[in-house]
Every structure is written in C-alpha cells, then in structure tokens.
Amino acid sequence: MDAIVALCKRRGFIFQSSEIYGGYNGFFDFGPLGVELKKNIKDAWWKDMVHRRADIEGLDSSIIMSPKIWVASGHVGGFSDPMVDCKVSKMRYRADQFFFAPVRVNNETIGYISILEDGKMQAEAEAAAEKMKRKGGHQGELGPIELKDYTEADPSEYELIPSPATGEPGSLTPPREFNLMFETKVGALSDSSDVAYLRPETAQGIFANYRNVVDTGRVKIPFGIAQIGKAFRNEITPKNFIFRSREFEQMEIEYFISPEADWEAIHQDWIACCQNWLLSIGLPEEMLGRDVHEKLAHYARACTDITFEFPFGKQELWGIAARSNFDLTQHAEHSGKPMEIFDEAAKKKYIPHVIEPSLGVDRLLLALLTAAYTEDEVGGEKRSLMKFHPRIAPYKVAVLPLLKNKPELVERAHGIYEKLQKRYNTFWDASGAIGRRYRRMDEIGTPWCVTIDFDTIEKDGTVTLRDRDTTEQKRVTEEELYTLLDASLH
C-alpha cells in the first residue's frame, strides 16, 4: 500500500486534498494521470453498460435534490453509522469497527483491551492480553479472548474499555447513531426549512427521474437507468487511502424488472456480468471474491458484494442488491405521483422491482492500481511498472525519437506523434537515455512505446514498438501500429 500511495503522489495520480494547508481528511485530488485513469474507467463502464446495451439508458441528475427525496428513501431517518467518541483525545471511531474484550486470568477479569478492526486483530488482541497479564504480575491461566464490537458492549462496560487513542479506560462515550449525510443550506434565507443534503448515493436521482425516463423514452420492462456521479458521506473514519473517503464517485444502475420475473436469476446474471466486466478491464480473477449478505436491509431481498483483495484485506468493491420495489413505492407514497408502468407484453400495470449494481469509481481505481502495481527486474535493474489494461492506461502510447539532437529523427517522430495524438492519448518524450524513458513510461503504465530511429528515416519507415510488460521490441509499420492500438482499446 505504501508503495502505491508513494507512486500515486510521485507520478501525479492522486494527491491529498488541500495539501498546502496540511491536508483534509477523507478528501483527495486527482492529478494529471489520475484524472485520465478515472475518466478511462468511467468511459469504459459507460460504453459497456450503456452504449453497448439496448436495455439501458443514461442519466445525470443533480447532486442537491429536494430534501423530501431523502426522507422518502429513508436516509434522513436511518442512513447512519454507530459512533463512539473519546472525550480526552477528541477522537471519533466507528463503534462497529472498534473491538474490545475482557482479559480473564483464572476466570477473574483483570482489565479490558480494545483494538481497531483489521485483519490481524485477534492475534494483536491476544498479545495485548498476554502483556497485561505479565505487567500486572498475574499468575494463572489466561482465558480465551473473545472480541466483540463496541455496539455489543453492556452499558456497565463503557467505563472499563480503554480508548484506542489514550490506552486508558474512562473516556469513551456510549455508542450513538451518526447520520452520514452532509447538510447544506439552499437559498438566501438561512433557517431550518432551507436544509438540504449532498447526495450520499446517485441511486435516488435515478428513482426520482424514473417517471421522466418512462414517459419520454421508449423503454419497456426490463430496462435500466445508469448514472455516474459524485456522492458524499461524512464517514466517521475515512481510511485506506481512497477506499473509504467522504467525497467519491459512484457508477450505479437501477435495473427495473417485473414483480413476477425470476429476480434471483436476474440478480445472478448481474453478478456474473459485473464480474466479467471487472475481468475485462484487467482485474485478475484470483483477486476477486463474493460476499453474500446474510444480514439484509429491510427492503432488500438479497445482496452480494464482489470483493477485492486490497493490500489491507478482502473488502467490498461492487454491491449488487435486489431491492424489491421499496424505493419506487416510497416515492409514490411521498410524492403522490404514480410509479406504475404498463407492461405491454404482460398487459399489466405494476410498480417494477429493481436489481441495483452499485460500484465506486475511486474504489475501483484503487483496485486497478493494486492489481497493476508490479516490481520486476530488467537487465539486472529493479523496475516498478503499472500493468494497466490498455483501455484504462492514462496514456496509450509514447513516441520517443531515439536521439534528441538529430533534427531529422525528431521531426519524423513528431509527425507520428501528431497523428497518434488525434486518436489516442499519446505521450511525447524526447529527452534522456532511451532506457530511462522506457522506465518512466512503465511506471505510469503506458502499454507501448514507439521509437523512431535511423532505420525509420533511412530504410523502410518502420518504427520500434516496445511492449511494457515483456519489454519485447519489434519493428512495425505505421499501419500495423494503428491496427494494434485500435484492437487493444475495445
């Protein structure tokens, strides 16, 4: 993870937001390479999920919508996480990600240990218990350490559990629900009636526009509405770089189906479709997994996450939920507008049910960075490279004249660069040793380098094409170059 974060900063992929003022927790800025990577991810998703499918339409709804939407969707009432505060350090934690256990020696409690959730917390908790026993000079058998999260603590235990910040008990508050929506004010007057929210998901903008799409388009069941856009959550503990941030982008689809359709089969089809798409843009199968939710939200019939092996453990990447007709029914009730659709084929009117694949752009970007990051050796020298799929790579190709001080080489190379640039994001690099220039391109994940040398201008016009992953070089004509680049980008 450290290597990825360092590379992101060094090469201009991702910066901490407001860095010159010491940063701003949970917010990030995407630099020249990061913005290309992000755009390529969104373009690939849009092309495959919207343009290449006859049953899905696009949408771009506003970020700030009527607060009534968030009342109807249940977000005002219930979009919250449990939190716990340390009154001494002023630190705040997610109560369900903060674990504790009594330490027992010979069945007698000698104190409590606490630990923040991570993959190794059981081992770390056992080591901490051992240390407590040793330090206190207790003799006897240490009991098993049974970790529970703070929401499961008995009120009598709040005073006994040590704060992760100070290591001392007595400063933790009871767990409280914390609504994750950011509030803002709309309009010149400022009173409680002007409160609005920055959307915490793009999905509600889809439900709010469902009627418009049905009335103005030529959709028929089953069909989907797709949207890409910013979402905001006042996460209690933003962490793991861009994995959980307070401002992020989502790519969501609401796929509307008949209430009588075999929703389980359609749900499974969507899970497979999402997994195949991830494979197609370069995530390796062995890093993907599934998490079938057992605990479901009251409106959900099923939810499966596609997970990814991040450097900090296996975590949710893409949630695919079967949400019944909960949202449309809520909006029908709260807005008083009908949400039924007339199904021509079935000759029936109903409120459709939905399958909802919901993916975070930033989280996918982190997964792609993780999967692409590679270290190997070339000619006895260590190199780090990003093995991005060509569709995702910020630059598709780089053009390098072999020597900077030979005008005829530079001129010919620049002519090729100008032609390539019209079709692909192309990098121009004329300075430095050729090996160093290749290495620079490897590190930002450019799949191909095209070198123009004396054979190009004096012999047959062919150029040297170098492959990033294998470092193999071959001579190709300009025609062959375009064919290869076009084929790799689809």
**Candidate ranges 311-319, 333-341, 418-426, 465-473; the one touching ligand GAP (CB under 6 A):** 311-319
**Candidate ranges 75-83, 113-121, 221-229, 357-365; the one touching ligand GAP (CB under 6 A):** 357-365
Does residue 224 bind ligand GAP (CB under 6 A)? no
Does residue 318 bind ligand GAP (CB under 6 A)? yes
What's the rounded Cα separation, in Å, for the pair 365 and 324?
Answer: 30
Interface mask (CB under 6 A) for ligand GAP, residues 169-208, using x and -?
--------------------------------x-x-----
Angle between helices 326-335 and 203-216 (to 10 degrees): 80
Does residue 309 bind ligand GAP (CB under 6 A)? no
Say if residues 133 and 110 touch (Cβ distance below 8 Å).
Answer: yes
- Residues composing the chain: 490
Strands annotated E in 43-128: 56-59, 80-85, 92-94, 98-105, 108-116
**Candidate ranges 57-65, 93-101, 241-249, 413-421; the one touching ligand GAP (CB under 6 A):** 241-249
What's the rounded Cα separation, in Å, for the pair 44 and 490?
Answer: 9
Considering the complex, state which of residue 30 and residue 395 has its C-beta at the smaller distance from ligand GAP. 30
Does residue 13 bind ligand GAP (CB under 6 A)? no
Q: Which residues pair with 302 in a beta bridge?
A: 322
CB-count exposure of residue 123 (10 Å: 0-12, 13-18, 19+): exposed
Does residue 81 bind ligand GAP (CB under 6 A)? no
At its nearest, how many Å lie between ligand GAP and the CB of residue 181? 12
**Candidate ranges 221-229, 314-322, 347-355, 453-461; the one touching ligand GAP (CB under 6 A):** 314-322
Longest CA span, the chain: 88
Say if residues 245 and 362 touch (Cβ distance below 8 Å).
Answer: yes
Does residue 59 bind ligand GAP (CB under 6 A)? no
Does residue 248 bind ligand GAP (CB under 6 A)? yes
Q: Can you tell me which of 102, 222, 319, 394 binds ligand GAP, judged by CB under 6 A?
A: 319
Q: Can you tell me which of 235, 429, 442, 453 binds ligand GAP, judged by CB under 6 A?
A: 235
DSSP H/E element including 245: none
Tokens 């019939």 correspond to what residue? 301
At its nearest, how many Å lie between ligand GAP and the CB of residue 391? 20
Considering the complex, state which of residue 171 and residue 324 has its C-beta at the smaller distance from ligand GAP. 324
Residue/partner pairs of 343-350 with CB below 8 Å, 24 or more apart: 343/220, 343/221, 343/258, 344/220, 345/220, 345/221, 346/258, 346/260, 348/258, 350/258, 350/259
SS (H, E, C) 139-197: CCCECCCCCEEHHHCCHHHCCCCECCCCCCECCECCCEEEECCCEEECCCCCCHHHEEE
Q: Can you tell me which of 11, 38, 233, 466 binds ligand GAP, judged by CB under 6 A?
A: 233
Considering the complex, state which of residue 327 and residue 429 has its C-beta at the smaller distance from ligand GAP. 327
Does residue 252 bind ligand GAP (CB under 6 A)? yes
**Candidate ranges 38-46, 104-112, 243-251, 370-378; the one touching ligand GAP (CB under 6 A):** 243-251
What's the rounded Cα separation, in Å, for the pair 184 and 80?
Answer: 17
What is the contact surface with ligand GAP in residues (CB under 6 A)? 201, 203, 233, 235, 244-245, 248, 250, 252, 316-319, 356, 358-360, 362-363
